[in-house]
């Protein structure tokens, strides 16, 4: 075995450790680490694994609730949905790998988030995603879109889990750093949830799944650094996924979980065997000793450094009950997966690695985990933007043209080309998906008459304008989208995507967004149960727009009472719940019609959000509405168009009751819902709302084959739909739009 090199300042820097951090390592060890130990410290102290810039702020979140079984701190969050059933879910980023190698980066992001879920005993039942690409004209955008979408579809479709929804945005701020956030939802029984804390002394540690190769080495470190012009050189750090092996691994794990053989289980994600073994040991308060000679390897001559830092996919680590070893071997061999006993739990509190008869690592576990750096980064509050008054904003002279421009803008245009590449109905429990254009996907709990609703949301331009209000809005929009389908919102996961936290203005965005999100969560009793932080999303000093993506999950107790965007009927009346004042700051109207991105975003009144959402769910359960949609991007006009597209019937909006027409049609006030109701329900719906102190007004009718607004636009439904559908295919085919 070759002698390990001496540790030099250059080697320390190459591992992403600062001089001060290295001094702490020397103090904790009382000696100089060898290269293996340095590599382990480097990945465990990376931003991606240690959350060293974010931990103290994440601790502000509401994380408990009546339905919360497991909050943050495990592989995924767990919530109770009655009848002994629970939902296990999480969202996570795979941003840097997807920019470098879009297909494999996105595919392994899907595989990784599924492992986080099924490692806790759940069968994955649905996938979601939140994607952000650069401006459509950027030379890399088409390649990145094609690769990412193919990777998501290729992996999810092969594993046999439906991809049921998500969101896709385009903006110049993501030219150098795209975002690929994946969410997985799984179903388990409350009495059969598995955790990662290793227990006992002398218990066998099993490695299962695929063999270890050299792919993904230092992936966690790479994900904790900025990009520059040489980022393509980091391609070797991107892992390679195999969805067919993942499918076998799911089935094998679930089969063994049906026995009493497993004490603890952890997937090998970022930092691979290093993070999985250390996290298991730390949570259980034990030590771990591994014999690396026994690790299944697909490449010859792998060093301890390579084996510990590899991020090869489709691998799990387990602590097995003594006496159940043969059972574990039998199950995994039946599914034709690699399986090996590679170590034992100990009472030393150390991670000890043996290789070819020598101890190649012996370091305490606590400094690697809970005792990792925890920084209070300097941060400055974002400067507030001025409130823009609709009367002071240029009003278009051609509303037909304005409507077309917004309906085919990158944020609003149909993403059919994307979702058609995803299998949305495998497993046969998908009630509603991205196919309808609705507010949330709906997945039946198999064999029952209840369902879960799922949504992912973020409006980065709001967060950019005001991180605090934008953070509130991200949570509030998931609340609205779940309410739109009749689901009781239960809990959220998140994926917090920001730039370099060492820059006070970026850290200020992060802190502001978290504070806003937390206020919304507490107002709604809507806890955060899992999530992920992705920092250093910038290239050559240019940070992405702050993007705290939120995944919301709610329960539909009875599928006799739910709604979708479809269902508006000829002769229905359109009612708007929630007040319109004509807020155009940070709006799509401002961006798409006037090429401006200024102004304060719409404020989020959390009391109104809760009251209006509660009322909408009551209307659905009283069967008072035929279709429901929240008013968000593009305001009332776009909400009405999307309802018309989904129901395949025209709409006619009334003239603005007061104030400028562009504010009435395209203003983006929050806490608003557009509902389609039969004539005999109009008075009860409006009068009950007013009696509750809510704002409600009739704004139009349903019928015909045109989309109209009095004194503004008048276009055919078919013609506008064509504009809505053609933008993305034209972009990817190189056709002018």
Query: Closest Cα to residue 197, out of 109, 73, 101?
Result: 73
- 629 among known catalytic residues: no
Per DSSP bridges, beta strands 179-189 and 85-93 are antiparallel
Question: Choosing from 94, 355, 662, 724, which is the catalytic residue?
Answer: 94
Which residues are registered as beta bridge partners of 627? Answer: 676
Dihedral, 45, 381, 529, 314 alpha carbons, nearest 10: -40
Which residues are registered as beta bridge partners of 492? Answer: 528, 552
SS3 708: strand
The answer to whether the CB of 56 falls within 8 A of the CB of 376 is yes
Per DSSP bridges, beta strands 528-534 and 488-497 are parallel
How many CB atoms are located within 10 Å of the residue 150 CB? 15
Alpha carbon of residue 627 to chain centroid: 27
The answer to whether the CB of 691 falls within 8 A of the CB of 372 is no
SS3 183: strand
Alpha carbon of residue 635 to chain centroid: 24
- 724 among known catalytic residues: no
The answer to whether the CB of 204 falls within 8 A of the CB of 320 is yes
Strand order through the sheet with 287-291: 262-267, 315-320, 204-209, 338-346, 287-291, 350-355, 358-364
> Cα–Cα distances in Å, from 150 out to 108, 110, 138, 244, 418?
12, 12, 19, 16, 9
Dihedral, 394, 396, 397, 398 alpha carbons, nearest 10: 170
* DSSP labels, 642-684: HHHHHHT--EEEPPPSSS-HHHHHH---SS-EEEEE-HHHHHH
Taking the C-alpha atoms of residue 436 and residue 502, their distance in angstroms, rounded to an integer, is 42
The answer to whether the CB of 211 falls within 8 A of the CB of 297 is yes
Which distant-in-sequence residues (6+ apart) come within 8 Å of 529 by Cβ?
63, 68, 70, 71, 72, 77, 78, 79, 89, 491, 492, 493
Q: In what helix (H) or strand (E) does residue 12 lie, and over which residues does it extend?
A: helix 9-14
Taking the C-alpha atoms of residue 141 and residue 325, their distance in angstroms, rounded to an integer, is 50
Dihedral, 300, 306, 307, 310 alpha carbons, nearest 10: -110
The answer to whether the CB of 46 falls within 8 A of the CB of 16 is yes
Question: Helices marked H in 285-415 — which ranges?
Answer: 304-309, 325-334, 399-407
Which distant-in-sequence residues (6+ apart) come within 8 Å of 155 by Cβ?
106, 107, 108, 110, 111, 241, 243, 246
Dihedral, 242, 213, 36, 350 alpha carbons, nearest 10: 50
The answer to whether the CB of 557 falls within 8 A of the CB of 116 is no
Question: Choosing from 48, 57, 218, 629, which is the catalytic residue?
Answer: 48
Radius of gyration of the chain from its Cα atoms, rounded to whole angstroms? 26
Residues marked as catalytic: 48, 94
């Amino acid at each position: 075995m070759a002698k390990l090199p001496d540790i030099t300042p250059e080697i320390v820097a190459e591992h992403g450790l600062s001089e001060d951090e290295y001094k702490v390592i020397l103090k904790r060890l009382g000696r100089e680490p060898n290269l293996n130990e340095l590599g382990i410290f480097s990945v465990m102290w990376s931003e991606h694994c240690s959350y060293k810039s974010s931990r103290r702020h994440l601790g502000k979140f509401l994380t408990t609730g009546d339905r919360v079984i497991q909050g943050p701190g495990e592989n995924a969050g767990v919530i109770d949905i009655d009848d002994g059933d629970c939902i296990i879910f999480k969202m996570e980023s795979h941003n840097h790998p997807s920019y470098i190698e879009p297909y494999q980066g996105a595919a392994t992001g899907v595989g990784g988030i599924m492992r986080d879920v099924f490692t806790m005993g759940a069968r994955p039942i649905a996938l979601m995603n939140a994607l952000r690409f650069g401006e459509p004209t950027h030379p890399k955008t088409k390649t990145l879109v094609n690769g990412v979408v193919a990777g998501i579809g290729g992996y999810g479709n092969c594993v046999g889990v439906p991809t049921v929804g998500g969101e896709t945005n385009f903006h110049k701020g993501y030219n150098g750093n795209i975002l690929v956030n994946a969410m997985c939802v799984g179903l388990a029984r409350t009495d059969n949830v598995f955790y990662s804390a290793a227990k006992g002394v002398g218990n066998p540690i099993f490695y299962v799944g695929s063999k270890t190769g050299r792919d993904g080495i230092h992936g966690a470190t790479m994900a904790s650094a900025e990009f520059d012009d040489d980022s393509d050189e980091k391609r070797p750090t991107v892992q390679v996924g195999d969805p067919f092996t993942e499918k076998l691994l799911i089935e094998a794990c679930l089969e063994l979980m049906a026995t009493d053989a497993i004490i603890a289980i952890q997937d090998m994600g970022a930092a691979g065997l290093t993070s999985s073994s250390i996290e298991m040991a730390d949570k259980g308060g034990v030590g771990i000793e591994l014999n690396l000679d026994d690790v299944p390897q697909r490449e010859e001559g792998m060093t301890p450094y390579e084996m510990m830092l590899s991020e090869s996919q489709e691998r799990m680590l387990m602590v097995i009950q003594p006496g159940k070893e043969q059972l574990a071997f039998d199950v995994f061999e039946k599914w034709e997966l690699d399986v090996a006993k590679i170590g034992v739990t100990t009472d030393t509190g150390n991670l000890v690695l043996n290789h070819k008869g020598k101890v190649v690592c012996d370091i305490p576990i606590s400094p690697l985990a809970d005792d990792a750096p925890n920084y209070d980064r300097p941060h400055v509050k974002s400067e507030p933007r001025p409130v823009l008054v609709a009367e002071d904003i240029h009003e278009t002279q051609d509303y037909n043209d304005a409507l077309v421009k917004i309906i085919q803008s990158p944020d609003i245009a149909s993403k059919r080309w994307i979702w058609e590449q995803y299998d949305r109905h495998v497993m046969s429990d998908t009630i509603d998906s991205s196919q309808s254009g609705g507010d949330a996907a709906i997945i039946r709990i198999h064999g029952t008459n209840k369902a879960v609703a799922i949504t992912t949301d973020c409006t980065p331009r709001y967060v950019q304008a005001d991180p605090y209000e934008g953070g509130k809005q991200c949570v509030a929009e998931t609340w609205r989208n779940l309410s739109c389908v009749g689901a009781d919102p239960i809990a959220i996961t998140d994926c917090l995507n920001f730039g370099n936290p060492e820059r006070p203005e970026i850290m200020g965005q992060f802190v502001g967004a978290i504070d806003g999100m937390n206020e919304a969560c507490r107002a709604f009793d809507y806890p955060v149960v899992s999530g992920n932080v992705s920092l250093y999303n910038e290239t050559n000093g240019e940070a992405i727009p702050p993007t705290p993506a939120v995944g919301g999950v709610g329960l539909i107790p009875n599928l006799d009472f739910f709604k979708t965007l479809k269902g508006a009927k000829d002769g229905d009346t359109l009612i708007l719940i929630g007040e319109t004042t004509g807020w155009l700051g940070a709006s799509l109207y401002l961006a798409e019609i006037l090429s401006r991105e200024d102004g304060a975003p719409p404020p989020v009144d959390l009391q109104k959000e809760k009251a209006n959402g509660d009322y909408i769910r009551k209307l659905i359960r009283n069967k008072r509405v035929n279709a429901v949609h929240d008013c968000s991007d593009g305001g009332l006009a776009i909400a009405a168009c999307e309802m018309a597209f989904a129901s395949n019937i025209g709409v006619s909006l009334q003239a603005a009751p007061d104030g400028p027409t562009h504010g009435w049609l395209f203003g983006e006030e929050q806490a608003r819902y557009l509902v389609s109701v039969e004539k005999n329900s109009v008075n009860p719906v409006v009068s009950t709302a007013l009696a509750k102190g809510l704002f409600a007004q009739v704004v139009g009718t349903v019928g015909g084959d045109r989309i109209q607004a009095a004194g503004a636009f008048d276009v055919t439904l078919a013609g506008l739909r064509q504009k809505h559908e053609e933008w993305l295919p034209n972009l990817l085919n190189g056709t002018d739009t």
